[in-house]
Amino acid sequence: MKIAVAKGDGIGPEIMEAVIGIFDAAKLPLEYQYVDMGKWVFDKGFSNGMTPEAKDAIEQLGVLFKGPMETPKGKGVKSVNVTARKTWNTYANDRKFQTLSGVDTVFSKAGINIDLTIVRENIEDTYGGIEHMLTQDVAIARRFITRGGSEQVIRYAFEMAQKKGAKRITCGHKANIMKLTDGLFLEVFNEIAKEYPNLKADDVIVDDLCMKLVSRPDLFDVIVLTNLQGDIVSDLCAGLVGGLGFAPSSNIGDHISIFEAVHGTAPDIAGKNIANPTSLLLSGLNMLRHLGMMEKAVMIENALLFTLESGIHTGDFGDKSIPSVNTTVFAKAIIDNFGKQPSHHPRPSLKDFDFVPTNSAISKNPMLLSSKNEPHKILGADFFIESTLQPNELAALAIMHEKDQLKLVTISNRGTQVWPTGSVFTNLVNQFRLRFETDAASPLTQADILNLYSALSKDFTISSIEILNMWGDKKAYSLAQGQ
């Protein structure tokens, strides 16, 4: 089987060489096609961090194994890591965190065994990177949470939890504050949970989740979160088991999957042959399992665990009374320990299965649509305007432009209502939201909104506008704080 391999930047080439050496010693039935990605590709003028030949190869092969990569700072380019995940719709970031013998942590010293999986939505949220300056003082970012995207990652999490033999799956969220975006994610979680009655499904507000994770991580099994929250929580969990050097990462899509180290490129030690290849190796083992090579994955992982348990370590971890070894020696120790099992938490033997690639040729972009088709109404619009007027002055001017069906109902600043009621102690910035709604029985049209826009533009600088929608009997917009 041929896979695409990108060595990465900084320490990437040397840890990739170590891992490929371990795979070759294990006589894996793999062939490698090396592709050009990373900072040096940016520097050659490719704005997405990969050559067209690399993109074509990855799309043809369907599997990418990659080292850590750097995105140049201050050049207006997007992260090659995020670009790759989003371009190929690897919607589920699967990161497993386990106690490893020989890697001392607060929890290992207390005899608390950690074995949990974070599944992070990988495409949406604020990682769309859609940002605008509404005024010179006010920046805004759009946060996308979609029903289709949520269904993809949450269903993957339930399926993975079931295969893993998990007993509990938890949705981490902030739906108490972000009632529409996180609320939609939680709603989809609860809908899908009904299809898996054998799994205990619950939800935890993300700040409470973080507190519980750093006190009793052993109580959790599988946790699924939105993109930004999942990014933060997964790095938190890496800290529970020894750091990013022991945190594997899989990015799973329907057609293409990416397996990568999530730590940095460590340019300060690049080329010194002292980097720890464990994270990349663990990610590679996830890749082997994805490809059905279960027996070899278990053999290599048990050899790694035996090596760690024996006290062999690189300079970034381990018993400081035992001299550290370099990358090459560490990899050779793992190879020498093939066939051995650790005394603590050995991985059970699993049978291989035939990998069926899903990277079939497609001619159109897949469209994620739900079956929901409720009646739609337009109830009004929010106009985001630039102004330094006081709220009462602003309201008096805006009311002059009210239409028969559209009345000014509230003015807010940074999400807090300042008119018709509010507090003089609320600090203001030079960007307000004017909300106009209808109380008429007949629905509004987009033309009604445009007419109001035209009228308001005579007295206001309008930065942005959002339509206030209603589907069925449910208003599809939030209230201001204090409204």
Q: How would residue 474 be classed by pLDDT, with cut points 50, 70 and 90? A: very high
Q: Determine whether 57 is exposed, middle or buried from the number of CB atoms within 10 Å of its CB (0-12, 13-18, 19+).
A: buried
List CB contacts of 66: < 8 A, sequence separation 6 or more.
Answer: 5, 6, 8, 37, 84, 258, 259, 260, 261
Q: Determine whether 368 is exposed, middle or buried from the number of CB atoms within 10 Å of its CB (0-12, 13-18, 19+).
A: middle
pLDDT tens, residue by residue, 217-226: 999 999 999 9
pLDDT of 91 higher than 80: yes
The residue-averaged pLDDT of 212-237 equals 96
The residue-averaged pLDDT of 427-442 equals 92
CA-CA distance, 179 to 475, in Å (whole number)?
Answer: 12
CA-CA distance, 246 to 96, in Å (whole number)?
Answer: 10
Q: Determine whether 399 is exposed, middle or buried from the number of CB atoms within 10 Å of its CB (0-12, 13-18, 19+).
A: exposed
pLDDT tens, residue by residue, 245-298: 999 999 999 999 999 998 999 999 999 999 999 999 999 999 999 999 999 999
Q: Report the alpha-carbon angle 16-284-294, nearest 5.
A: 145
pLDDT for 465 equals 97
pLDDT of 19 higher than 60: yes
pLDDT tens, residue by residue, 331-340: 999 999 999 9
Domains of the chain listed by start with CATH number: 1-90+272-372 (3.40.718.10), 92-252 (3.40.718.10), 376-475 (3.30.70.1570)
Of residues 119, 179, 128, the one with CA closest to residue 150? 119
Of residues 181, 218, 198, 199, the one with CA closest to residue 97? 218
pLDDT for 441 equals 77
Say what the pTM is: 0.91
pLDDT tens, residue by residue, 355-380: 877 656 678 888 998 888 899 999 99
